[in-house]
Amino acid sequence: MSEIVKTYFNAFNAGDTDGMLACLTDDVAHHVNEGQIREGKELFAKFCAHMSRCYRENLTDMVVFENGDRAAAEYIVNGTYLATDDGLPEARGQTYRLPAGSFFTLREGKIARVTTYYNLADWVRQVS
């Protein structure tokens, strides 16, 4: 596994946003499921703060693939819905287990692109 991808996911599981940010290029492109592309560490940090307020998540069953400047990971998101997110069902501490995947572009030992996918309809069904 790419060391930078491993470090990124270890920081995610530890709730360490600064650790995640250290893995990213300054101009990182963050493509989120069902959302707009965010560019730069500042917007990535704001996204992480929002996510930490609304969700507590831990990733398990991870498999990472790497080929040159690209990497991909498949995993299970084990989460708790902590605070109601805009336009989504009301949060009442519901738990969920959701297959997901991320794709990365690597540049000069850092992550230059993060793209994450999951089935939003499945998540909504689990928390409704």
The reply to whether the predicted model has a pTM over 0.85 is: yes
Q: Model confidence over 52-90: pLDDT tens digits?
A: 999 999 999 999 999 999 999 999 999 999 999 999 999
From CA 107, how far away is CA 128, in angstroms rounded?
Answer: 40
- 97: β partners: 78
Mean of the pLDDT values across residues 91-95? 98
How is domain 3-127 classified at the architecture level of CATH? Answer: Roll (3.10)
Residue 42 banded pLDDT, cuts 50, 70, 90: very high
From CA 92, how far away is CA 108, in angstroms rounded?
Answer: 42
The token duo for 86 is: 């805009």
How high is the pLDDT of residue 2?
Answer: 78
The CA distances from residue 32 to 53, 59, 93, 101, 115, in Å, are 17, 16, 23, 11, 6
In the chain the first and final C-alpha atoms are separated, in Å, by 36
Residue 35 banded pLDDT, cuts 50, 70, 90: confident
Nearest C-alpha neighbor of 78 from the set 92, 62, 90, 60: 60
The domain spans of the chain are: 3-127
Question: For residues 58 and 78, is the Cβ–Cβ distance under 8 A?
Answer: yes
